[in-house]
Amino acid sequence: MALRLIECLSTTEQLADLFSDESILKAMLQFEVALARVEGKLGVIPRSAATAIATAARTATLDPAAIASEAPLSGTFAIPLLRAFQENIRAQDPEAVDFVHWGATSQDLCDTALVLLLQKAQAILDADLNRLEKALQNLAQQHRRTVMLGRTWLQTAPPITFGLKAAGWLGAVHRSRKRLAAAFEEALILQFGGAVGTLAALGKDGLKVAEALADELKLPCPEAPWHTHRDRLAVLMCACGVLTGILGKIARDIVLLAQNEVAEVSEASGGDRGGSSTMPHKHNPVGSVLTLAAAQRVPGLVSSFLSSMVQEHERAAGGWQAEWEIVADVIQNTGFALASMADVAEGLRVDVERMKSNIAANQGLVFAERVSILLGKEIGRDFAHELLQEASTEAAIAKRNLSEVLAEMPEIVVHLRAADLRNLENPEHYLGSAEEFRRRLLAAASAQEKPQAKSKQQRSTRKPARRKK
């Protein structure tokens, strides 16, 4: 499916296709066929009607535009869809028409269809999560000894390694991946409750039909219908929001490091990627920028979903109707950010020499903390801190190296020799536990099997516990 201009910077082709009209209608017909099939097997409707419904679904001609134009009249596109589907069945078996959607309500159809779409979305997101984790793992390992300036409040600070920075990104992504997998597992369940969530229209067969329908669709069967209890979907939306925020943090770091004045990393180039319409010299960090755009959109969407959770009694008036577009937008923006950042991480160029030269250009000022700590043992921490503030100011104003200024201060040289001071500016000698932290982050991301999207065959049906007699 070709992307529309309005959505080309907020979704991927895969996700746009997943939430296309054709895909949505296919998921809705999947529900109707599965319902008819299990009801036919259980004798709730005639087997012949179930067969006719399944046959019609394979050849049904449905007009998405016509369905969409009629939807505002009923507040849901389930009703015009069912009407159109019934007309397709009528042409083949008029007697089967009355048994379509037997015992279900429009929300059962829409919610379960949404779940079926989300099930496919999980696999798409997981594939890009795999790519991103692998790329970050490679960066963290490859640059375990690459020293660079640390930065706090956007100001230069003592050195770290780029390997540690990449491992920090990896750790956050992996933690979010586990949360997302758990949220998907909880949310991907059947919705089937009839008019008010009691399945009263099916009499004594209600629970049997629900459990059989869950088995047919390879979805867990919840303890009860959840028409106005949207907590599972809300947790999934929040998990997407957290993941997108993490991706935005990584993108922000890369954008800042890619500034010409810093120039420590750059995104891969090729063709027109990252080019400017007017400035031929520019190479924009386009993947990171697109990730940041998605990270700015998603929190508002998540907030909108949370607002829609306040739903009335057994069926909502407005809250449920607000959700479909929100859920689709959250998933697509999350997937777009994820695919963009996976591309960035796989092609990220790291300028090791520039990182070293940026440390050197800092005139040793980032090592003031190290000198202050060592000197504090001799003359007291507060006095040492005061002396280093004075020396740092002088070095910055005079554009001299910090060690040179310190070597001229009697209070300093009485305790530290000039040769010792110069050695203190070696970044490799002031990395603390950076390497240990890097290893621990990588180990945590590799300690257990990465959560994978479950296939339909792997999903077990959760049935309500029965009381012992």
> In what helix (H) or strand (E) does residue 85 lie, and over which residues does it extend?
helix 78-90
Angle at 447 between CA 443 and CA 449, to 5 degrees: 135
Which residue is it, tokens 């910055």? 396
- Residue 372 a catalytic site member: no
Tokens read off for 113: 């269809």
Measured between alpha carbons, how far is 368 from 388 in angstroms, rounded to an integer? 6
Measured between alpha carbons, how far is 462 from 120 in angstroms, rounded to an integer? 20
Contact status, residue 344 vs residue 294, Cβ threshold 8 Å: no
Tokens read off for 105: 């309500």
- What sign for the dihedral angle of Cα 19, 24, 30, 32? positive
Q: Which amino acid is at 359?
A: I
Which residue is it, tokens 């520019």? 282
Q: How far is CA 312 from the centre of its chain?
A: 30
Q: Which of 90, 315, 439, 462 is the catalytic position?
A: 315
Q: Which of 20, 69, 74, 276 is the catalytic position?
A: 276
- Residue 266 a catalytic site member: no
Q: How far is CA 239 from the centre of its chain?
A: 7
DSSP assignment letter at 8: T
**Greatest CA separation for the chain:** 103
Contact status, residue 147 vs residue 355, Cβ threshold 8 Å: yes
User: Cβ-count burial of 175 within 10 angstroms (0-12 exposed, 13-18 middle, 19+ buried)?
Assistant: middle
Measured between alpha carbons, how far is 156 from 402 in angstroms, rounded to an integer? 14
Instruction: Point out the residues that are catalytic.
Output: 276, 315
